[in-house]
Structure 1
Amino acid sequence: MFIFATLVLAFVVVVQWRASARESSANLDYPPQGRVIDVDGTPVHVLIAGSGPDLVLLHGASGNVRDWTYDFTDRVSKRYRVIMLDRPGLGWTGRLPGKTGPWNTSAETPMEQAALLQKAAAIVGIDRPIVVGHSFGGAVAMAWALNQPEDTGAVVMLAGVSNPWPGDLGWTYTVTGSALGGGVIVPLASAFVPKSYVDSSVESIFQPQAAPEGYAEHVGATLVLRRESMRANAQQVNFLRPHIVKMSKRYEGLSLPLEILHGDADTIVPISVHSEPLSKQVKGANLTVLKGVGHMPHHADPDAVEDAIDRAAARAGLRKSP
């Protein structure tokens, strides 16, 4: 029994040591690209580029601001002041108080995430922004508008989560989002998941398109393998649905310009479940269906995304009509 306990303890030590070493490597390889500001004790990573009307970009699950800086920021920073924000627990933004720890299962809701990021945006002097949300970031973009409808210029949804879905999201989120998974499985995954698995996961997100050359290296995919980031990502996704149910009942009260882009080949966030219903819930919403495009429209069809942002800006009176 003593030998068994010693072996278990040794294994735990090795797992935690290896996870810490990989986290340190990821942190060194992918430092903050922007400024980390304090928001009521929570660090928030903000990256700003360009000038013009304020344009907020919110990344999806497992992501960070580097998703936008691969090439999309260069496209829009010539005519917008682009404010990119890491969501709580991801990239270089910390988690909210009471949400940390290996056995925690309390996730940041979309409304809580939006409130935190809106405080960060206020610190950098934002004014009636166009808020762009991709995937999970779409839920936060809608929460942003619900939180501050009068102070939000427009919303642009890119394959965004907006409505309740049938069924569950798969066993990986269920397990890693649980207390036991967060305390036991997450450190194991952080320590031993191979780079080949990370690369194949990135490729799967882009299907049926291929990931752009060098994308996985640029975005710092290993940042999400850090233990706290992995837990944050899993918990936020795993416990998202009840909050989406509540939020979706309030969409009809919104009157701001809403541009929705969604690929009809997206199997991760299906257009029929999310964007098609949303286009009917908000008066004046404009839905653009991207034929043959998967879950990453800002990479697969960036011209269409730029056009949608320009339309939103014009509808909000922030720019002349394109």
Structure 2
Amino acid sequence: MRSGLTLAAGMLAGLWLDTMRRTTQAESDHPPLGTFVDAGGTRLHVLDHGRGAPVVFLHGAGMLADDMALSVLDRAARSWRAIAVDRPGHGYSGRPRGSATPQAQARIIHDALVAMNVRRPVIVGHSLAGAVALAYALEFPHETGGVVFLSGYAYPTARPDFGPFMAPALPAVGQMLSRTVLQPVDRLLLPSLIERVFAPDPVPEHFRLMPTELMLRPAQLEAAAADIAALIPAVAEMAPHYRDIRCPLAIVAGEEDRIVDPYDHAARLHEDVPGSSLHLLAGTGHMVHHVRPDAVLGAVERAVRAAGIDAVHDQERGA
């Protein structure tokens, strides 16, 4: 019995050390590419490109700002001031206590944008960050230029598949798991998970540049798990207020999305928000910004125009 416990403890210690080594190596191999902004005491990492009307891109669960940089950010920067944010606890952004809900993250991101002299942005949120974008519009109705909701999650629909991803959020136990056994398991599962997120579309070649080792760091696994755990109760609280959204809202989803049902969320949101537009993309899955960038940027352009944001006014960087 004692020898078995000793062996188990030794294996956990070895996994812990390997995780720390891999985390250090990942950060050395993939240093921050953007700048840091003080968001009311929280340091957020942002990529800030281009000039003109501000368009803010928010990545989904467990991802990084790199997800937007590899898909639509550079093209968006040809027309607008395109900003991609590492959401709290992801990438190189800090994470204060109590920041798991979409509402809390919207407030932190708002603080960062104010510090960057960004006013009335169009907020583009993918997947889980679709809820963050909606929260931004609800929390700051007079300071939101518009929302583009990409393959987003908006209503408290049953998601038993969330369970395994929430393990790192368990008190105490979660930190042990994220620093030991989850590392090799997640590393093995990640390629199939990425294929599932893109399905039925193939994973594009450019996505292989995604720094996946950054996504597997313990702090990010814990942040992503806490966000997922907070999501359903948060959207249950938000959903009755969607009818109050008055800024332009463009809703984009793939009809073949296997991660978030487009009819339970995108189509239902369109029904609940007067004046919103709905764009269901045939034959397309969850990662619309990678596989249908023209459709996504078209929705952004419509939101910018509907918001009446002047592309060359004092929203420009440094104004």
If the length of structure 2 is used for normalisation, what is the TM-score? 0.92
Give the structure 1 partner of residue 100 of structure 2.
108
Matches within 5 A, 1:4-19: 4-19=4-19
- Say if 1:22 and 1:191, in contact at 8 Å, map to a contact too: no
* Corresponding position: 1:168 with 2:147: no
- Say if 1:310 and 1:319, in contact at 8 Å, map to a contact too: no
RMSD: 1.8
Q: By how many angstroms is 1:69 displaced?
A: 1.1
Give the structure 2 partner of residue 255 of structure 1.
246
Task: Tell me how far apart the structure 1 counterparts of residues 81 and 215 of structure 2 sit (CA, whole Å).
Answer: 27
Q: Please give the secondary structure, in 2, of the residue aligned with 1:37.
A: strand
Give the structure 1 partner of residue 122 of structure 2.
130
Task: Tell me how far apart the structure 2 counterparts of residues 201 and 7 of structure 1 sit (CA, whole Å).
Answer: 31
Q: By how many angstroms is 1:201 displaced?
A: 1.8
Judged with a 3 Å threshold, the aligned counterparts in structure 2 of structure 1 residues 18 and 39 are, in CA distance, closer, same or farther, namely same
Judged with a 3 Å threshold, the aligned counterparts in structure 2 of structure 1 residues 166 and 5 are, in CA distance, closer, same or farther, namely closer
Judged with a 3 Å threshold, the aligned counterparts in structure 2 of structure 1 residues 93 and 165 are, in CA distance, closer, same or farther, namely same
Q: By how many angstroms is 1:238 displaced?
A: 2.1
- Say if 2:12 and 2:181, in contact at 8 Å, map to a contact too: no
Q: By how many angstroms is 1:264 displaced?
A: 0.6
Give the structure 2 partner of residue 104 of structure 1.
none
Task: Tell me how far apart the structure 1 counterparts of residues 285 and 183 of structure 2 sit (CA, whole Å).
Answer: 31
1:182 to 166, 174, 184: 174
Give 5+ residue unaligned stretches, structure 1.
100-106
Judged with a 3 Å threshold, the aligned counterparts in structure 2 of structure 1 residues 94 and 241 are, in CA distance, closer, same or farther, namely same
Q: By how many angstroms is 1:167 displaced?
A: 4.4
Task: Tell me how far apart the structure 2 counterparts of residues 196 and 184 of structure 1 sit (CA, whole Å).
Answer: 19
* Corresponding position: 1:58 with 2:58: yes
Aligned length: 311
Give the structure 1 partner of residue 146 of structure 2.
154
- Say if 1:48 and 1:81, in contact at 8 Å, map to a contact too: yes
Q: Please give the secondary structure, in 1, of the residue aligned with 2:161.
A: coil
Q: By how many angstroms is 1:173 displaced?
A: 2.3
Give the structure 2 partner of residue 35 of structure 1.
35
1:211 to 203, 206, 210: 203
2:301 to 275, 299, 310: 310
Judged with a 3 Å threshold, the aligned counterparts in structure 2 of structure 1 residues 128 and 263 are, in CA distance, closer, same or farther, namely same
Judged with a 3 Å threshold, the aligned counterparts in structure 2 of structure 1 residues 206 and 189 are, in CA distance, closer, same or farther, namely farther
Task: Tell me how far apart the structure 2 counterparts of residues 151 and 194 of structure 1 sit (CA, whole Å).
Answer: 39
Percent sequence identity is 34
Q: By how many angstroms is 1:165 displaced?
A: 0.7
Give 5+ residue unaligned stretches, structure 2.
312-319
Map Cα deviations across residues 226-269 of structure 1 (whole Å, 9 max, x no partner).
Answer: 11110111121122101100111111111111000011100101
* Corresponding position: 1:119 with 2:103: no
Task: Tell me how far apart the structure 1 counterparts of residues 166 and 188 of structure 2 sit (CA, whole Å).
Answer: 23
Give the structure 2 partner of residue 276 of structure 1.
267
Task: Tell me how far apart the structure 1 counterparts of residues 162 and 129 of structure 2 sit (CA, whole Å).
Answer: 20
Matched letter for residue 222 of structure 1: E
Task: Tell me how far apart the structure 1 counterparts of residues 6 and 92 of structure 2 sit (CA, whole Å).
Answer: 36
